[in-house]
Structure formats: C-alpha cells, structure tokens
Chain A
Amino acid sequence: HLAPPFTEECRTGMYPPKGPTFKGAVTWYTVDLNLPPSKRWAAVISDKKAELVAMIQVIRDLANAFVPSGKLIDIVDKDLPLLVDTLPYPFNEEIRGIAAVSGVPLGEVVLFNIFYEVFTV
C-alpha cells in the first residue's frame, strides 16, 4: 500500500475544500481582450511579479545545474528572444508585455511559454 503509487480508498466529503490537501483558493483576474495585447496581462503580472521571478529563478538554477558554464541560460537569453518574432499574434505581443512588466528577460518568458513543447519527450 505504501509503495508508489500510494493508493488510498476513494475519498468522500472533501467538498467544500478544506484540510491538509487544500492549499488555498485561486484569485480571479480579468483580461480585457479589447486592450492591445501588450497591455492585457499588466494587472496579473504586477500582482504576481515576485512569484514569476522566483519560478524563473528556479528554472535558471536547474539549467545551470545541467550546464554549469551558464551557456544554456546564455542561449535562452540571447537566442530565444528571436523566436518571439516568429510566434503568432497576439501571443507574441502578450509575451513581450509580460516581459516588460515583470522585468524577466524576454527569452526566459518565451521559455516558460513553450515549456510544454520542450518537455513532451
């Protein structure tokens, strides 16, 4: 029973969420699609800037652990910004806006946004 995957009896009565498996409610934001793409995420990113920077830092640390010379992050910072020009509108402009508001290098915001394609192997 304790060997992975640990399996338990079907839970009941968990709702409304509470207890040790509930870590909090999720905050609501509005994104106005009438705004220019570069402005749409400004409120979200202003609120979550510190958390975004912390998450990106973890990815930097992981990348530097794999390639201690720092060359992998150099490639992300120097080459991935070139990719943003090829991404479809309005996603490219939204990504630029997020980088501008958060102060996170553009290449690292691009990497976060293409994580899925990178990690499907």
Chain B
Amino acid sequence: CTSVVAEDSKGSLFHARNLDFGLFMGWDVKNKTWIVTEKLRPLVVNVDFRRNNQTVFKSTNFAGYVGMLTGIRPHVFTLTMNERFSLDGGYIGILEWILGQRDGMWMSFLTRSVLENATSYEEAKKLLSQTKLLAPAYFILGGNQTGQGCVITRSRTLSLDIWELDHSLGRWYVLETNYDHWKEPLFVDDRRTPAMKCMNQTTQANISPKTLYDVLSTKPVLNKLTTYTTLMDVSTGLLEAYLRDCPDPCSPW
C-alpha cells in the first residue's frame, strides 16, 4: 500500500492511497497476475454510512468486509491504514484472543469505530495511537486544519512513533508504504523513493487530488497488487475511488 497526506500552499489537506493486497496468495502464470488481487477488485465498493439520513462517514471498502481500511469523516478527518509486517504479528493477537485475553482491538474494527465515533482529528489520533491492537499497523490520518497530518506507527501494544506534517521543517506531506519511515525499505520493494520523488517533483503549490492520482499511477507505486486508488479532500468531503490495473511491464509488488 501507499498512503499520503499532503497540504497545499493554501492550507488545504488532501489524502490519497493505493490499496495493495494479495502478495504470495496465488500467482496466475498465464495472465501474470495475483489471483486474490484479481478477485478482490470486483468487491470494491464505496459506502456512504448514514445515520438519521445524514452522512456520518464514507469509505472505500470490500463487500463482505465490515472493518475499514480507507475512509473520510467529511470536514473532520481522513483515515487510511497500511499493513505493517512484524514477527510479533496478528496471529499472536488472535491466539491471545482465542485464549480469552480480549483487551486488544481488531485493527479494522478500530478504524471503523474511529470513523464512526471520533469527532475531531485529535480524538482520532488519540484513539489510533493509544488503543491496544491485535496486530501492528500504520495509521495515516489527515485533519481539517493546517499541519494536521500524521503517520502513526503501531506495534500491537504501543505507539512507536507519530510522524507529523511540519512546516518549520518543510514537511508538507507524509507518505507511508509498508516500512517504518525511519528505516530503509526493503531494496526489492522500494515504492517510497519513487513516490517521494514524484511528490517533490509535483511541488506543494501544485498538489491536489488530481496530481496525487498521478503520483499513485506511477510504477512501482502502482503495481500488480494495487486493487484501487482513493482520493479524499477533507474540506469538501470528497471521496473518489478507481479500480486499477497494471499492465506489463509492471512490478509484481
């Protein structure tokens, strides 16, 4: 996955993501595609969650999956989640759950709860950084005011790091793939460097949902695992999603 929160020169915040899933879950030799990825694409839906006939939040989802990976609470905050791999992974959390230790939260249920219940960027940040989880994760959160954007790196129990937009450092965007931002990505899976190169080339003055789509369309940020691209603008409440394909030549991940 690749998620990015960016602030333009006027202080508007945009959030976009590529959802990549299906690595090592069956390779179709004939079509050179990942089998599960191909089957997930037709399940992608946009959902408008309403209460009392009013939108509470919107999301891009897989039909049949009740948790959230990508969503917006219009005018309040935007949220995406990227997978974080660890030996202390979710299978340990599941085992603990089965054995009766149920003080942790399932990742996608937490993101859904935050989208449904949190009423501010700060509240969302607190819940995402402090709630005990069953699995490690990266939460990418954008707010509705200048400087409100961060990547929360989570272990199952701790918030390891909160990496925020910072004007004083010239940090007008935060971009997360599937590696801790303070470490080098795996050299055969470096989507971060090309994505950041394209962000820097775009410049803060020209960043918008349209140019974020350009960044997320550049291979290998776009790759054979990419099922959809979502673009969000917190101030207007915009959420747009597009199914993606990556014809050869294209990185398998």
Q: Who on chain B is nearest to A65 by CB?
A: B26
- Pick the interface stretch among B3-11, B33-41, B143-151, B163-171: B33-41
A67 contacts B by Cβ under 8 Å: no
Interface membership of chain A positions 48-88, coded 1 if the CB is closer than 8 angstroms to chain B and 0 otherwise: 10011011001101100100000000000000000100111
Q: How far does the alpha carbon of A44 sit from the alpha carbon of B50 in the complex, in Å?
A: 14
Q: Which chain A residues have a beta carbon within 8 Å of chain B's beta carbons?
A: 2, 4-15, 17, 20-34, 41, 44-45, 47-48, 51-52, 54-55, 58-59, 61-62, 65, 83, 86-88, 91, 94-95, 98, 102, 104, 109, 112-121
Q: Which of B89-126 contact A (CB under 8 A)?
A: 89-91, 93-94, 97-98, 102, 105-109, 112, 116
A interface SS class = mixed
Q: Who on chain B is nearest to A102 by CB?
A: B64
B65 CB contact (under 8 Å) in A31, A32, A83, A112: A112
Name the distance in Å between A92's Cβ and chain B's nearest Cβ: 9
B157 contacts A by Cβ under 8 Å: no
Interface membership of chain B positions 207-239, coded 1 if the CB is closer than 8 angstroms to chain A and 0 otherwise: 001110111011110110000110000000000
Contact A14 B66, beta carbon cutoff 8 Å: no
Name the distance in Å between A20's Cβ and chain B's nearest Cβ: 5
B63 CB contact (under 8 Å) in A4, A45, A91: A45
